[in-house]
Amino acid sequence: MATAFAPGKCILFGEHAVVYGHPAVAVAIDAGVEVKLETSDKWEIKNDHYSNNFEEFQASKNPHIQHIIRNVFDYNGLPLKIKIKSNLFSSAGLGSSAALSNAMGAALHQLINPEDEINQIKLAKIGHSAEASAQEGRASPTDSATSSLGGCIVVSGEKDEHLNHVFDTSLTTPEGNREWSIHSVELHKNIKDSWLVLGFTGRAAPTGDMVSGVAERLKQKPELYAEMQAIENITKAGLTALELGNLEAVGIAMNSCHEKLKILGVSSDSLDNMVLATRHHSFGSKLTGAGGGGCMVALTNDPQRVAQEIELCGGQPLISKFGSKGAHIKKE
C-alpha cells in the first residue's frame, strides 16, 4: 500500500500568458488530492468527488492516471485499487488534475520503490507530462511544479538570475516548442501572515477548453498578444511586491491582472461579481486559473468577511494560507 498527497495551487499572476512563455506566479494551497494505492485482483478506482463505491478502472475516463501508469512507469504489476480523496473544487482552476497527477505519480513510485524517495523535480515533470497528454500538448508546468515543490513558484520562459532557479523543462505544443524555467520565491513575513480566500462559482471550467479558446482568439485577433505582454509586466510588478511584503501593491497587481484576463475573454459574470464584492475587504482580487467559471481569489487580512461576501454572491469559499507544503508520501 502507498498513499501520497499533493496540494492544489492558486495563480496570483500570469495565467494563460504562461502558456506562451510569459512568467506566472503561483502558490500551493492547503487543500489538495490524496491517492491511495494497493494491489488487488482487478483494476478498480474510487473518486470521492463522484462516487462512494469502487468501479472498474477505465483508461478513457482517467487519462492522467492512465498516462502515469503506462507511459511514465510502464507498470505491468498486479492490478491496482486506486482511491482518490480531494478537498479541491474540481475543474475550478485550482490545479486539481495536476495535484491528482502528482499524488498518483508519488504513490505509484512509492509502491514500486518503497525505499526510494521520489525526487520533487522528477515528480513535477511527471505531472506536467500527464497534463500535456490530457490537454492536447498546451499545458504549462505551473500547476504541476507548484503542486510538487510547494511554496511560491515562478514559471517563466527564461531563467531569471534574480530568483532561485530550480529546474528547466520544455514541451512541444501545437504552436511550437515551449521552454520554461521554474524558480522558487521566499515569501516575506507580511505575505505569510495574510490569507488567500478562494471563491468557487459552482461552474466547472476545464483548463484544456479555456486554453484552446484563447489560442483561437489569438489567431483571429493577433493584437491580443499585446495583452499577454501587459500581463507579464503586471506579473513582474506583483512579484516584486511579494518579495517586499507590500500587500497593497500585490493587490493592485491582482486587480490589474483581472482586467487583462477579461480582455482575453476568460472571465464571466459570476467571477466578476465575486471579484467586485470581495475587493471592499481585500487588498486585491481576481479570477485564478483558466477562468470561464471556476474560481476567483482574494488577498486579505479578514478571511471570514471575504468568505461571507463570496457566499452572498452564491459562491463557495475556501480559505488558505500562503505557500503550503508540496507533494509528499503519507505514512500509514
The range of the structural domain enclosing residue 184 comes to 2-329
In degrees and rounded to multiples of 5, residue 299 shows phi and psi of -100, 125
Assigned C-alpha cell, 163: 530568483
Count CB neighbours of 119 within 10 A. 13
Number of domains in the chain: 1
Count CB neighbours of 36 within 10 A. 19
Place of cell 525505499: 115
How far is residue 138's CA from residue 206's CA, in Å, rounded to a whole number? 13
Inter-residue contact 35 to 84 (CB < 8 Å): yes
CATH of the domain at 85: 3.30.230.120
pLDDT at 175: 67
Question: Averaged in consecutive runs of 10 residues, what is the pLDDT profile of the chain (332 residues)?
Answer: 95 89 92 96 89 88 93 94 93 89 96 90 93 77 94 90 91 76 91 94 82 90 93 95 95 97 94 96 94 94 97 97 90 74
How far is residue 287's CA from residue 243's CA, in Å, rounded to a whole number? 22
pLDDT at 115: 85
For the entire predicted model, the pTM comes to 0.88
Judge residue 14's burial from the number of C-beta atoms within 10 Å of its C-beta, 0-12 exposed, 13-18 middle, 19 or more buried: buried
